[in-house]
Structure 1
């Protein structure tokens, strides 16, 4: 979310800087940060922009909503130029390293010194603040690789403090004998003294979480793939075609990372049956109405002959559908599939055997 936040806040102090407008149509030539963020959020809409909105504080929301309300009309070419510029900036960004001192230095150039002091005091705060939440967001394999070198009792304490589901995934990735020892210690564990818990938290902060924070950087192409997944088909084609002309390598990487309706054809039989039980029949009928013959046959293969005949009748009964209606139905199925994967009910594989992604 850092990229969206930087766009939203860049130039936000310059409230008098307005986009150039001719005949009521706004261009991006002199757009400030909040205006550019407003355009991107309008393109994303309610569903796909929700998580970004949730990252803003009240003041940022006020700035962006004002910019959005006063934006006027931005034509398709201007929107395309803005999005391509955004993608280009993300793709060309180098690695960054964060530290306490560097953060203070940056904030003091942007915010009042007293506000900076309050923010950094919150971060510096008592040992362990938000530590267990941070561990809960770290990949289970990464966490297990770190913990396997710790004492079993220490591992037991740590796993007892994080979400049960995440602890299970960490245990699954520990060496077998070590994981059994940890489980035994967790079963016998009594209350942990505050001093011992503080020591563990401080060790995690200095030896693991802070190092991980400094070195981890999300591939911007992953974020753009998620954004592109939210586009309708025509918008997706338009942006990818433009990227093919300006940055073919980035376009190829985004395509590889996107999860589309056609990727549902890679579901294993068990996952497909789970999806079929959850999806609304009308949504499935609309999605298959505009699907390829191969995709139709893939879904029909998971149905009985009678169910297939009923679905074909439902599809025929829909009559002509606008492409937008088909896109919306297929997007709902993709979203439902990802939701099922997030809940651990199915596993998604994408790409060839050497490039598998699990969402």
Structure 2
């Protein structure tokens, strides 16, 4: 966690306090930001307002760095421990919603004392990629298999292209790992950023893990990696693809599950995702909405005009992440190929 904290600190030092305040307020949302601004004097409101208006292309990592820095400062100022963690949880959930806030809450509050391999889960993806990029591909495969699929997919994207298919093949071929070997790897990681031993399981890797990681990558990268794997091992490539759940597979999901999924997906994401969707999928989604909601969605889609393919695919991936989370919780059932993943 020390490494993650240092990275966050360096990023925050590159921007002014006013800009950090602007990013924090914009992350909180309109109602919460308005409440904060009420307690500031006119001059400060003007400065922060100007900074908010001039903010462009703030990356998710930078916003999270600001959030983490805010939490650490809050912690330092509440020496009696008067509900700092509870306050942060309430603010983040109220501002970002459960889905977006939970991962950040875990990273900030639960990850502070994590050690060894477990600590990698709370580090920025770029920091983890830098940490492992020079390791043997088998080591990288074990590390990525140990992490959550969404984090692993981001890290894989940041690795050299020539490494990606090799690492993913090794993940797919992993059939667990001996506890002693996992402990030794944990010690290697620990020496790089200090820590201890907090391993949960020696059961890592496998075709399902590889499919989950690949499923969360950009479509172009996903196809490139699958193609390279097929060149080396056609059977393994097919097995991975059989376990992947793609956007078109939503057509095989039952109506009740689709309705549950739609409650957890924002209208903006849905409108963008359906821009490039197969007509069959679009019809499936619309028929599971109220008539008025479906009409509004269609109007929104038509008013948006053309959208970049990368943006459409990103929105579709976002929906798939929600679908997989609900399936893993037993809330919905994914049909088709993805049924094996539930």
Of structures 1 and 2, the one with the larger relative CO (CA 8 A, separation 6+) is 2
What TM-score, normalized by structure 1, do the two folds share?
Answer: 0.46
The structure whose Rg is larger is: 1
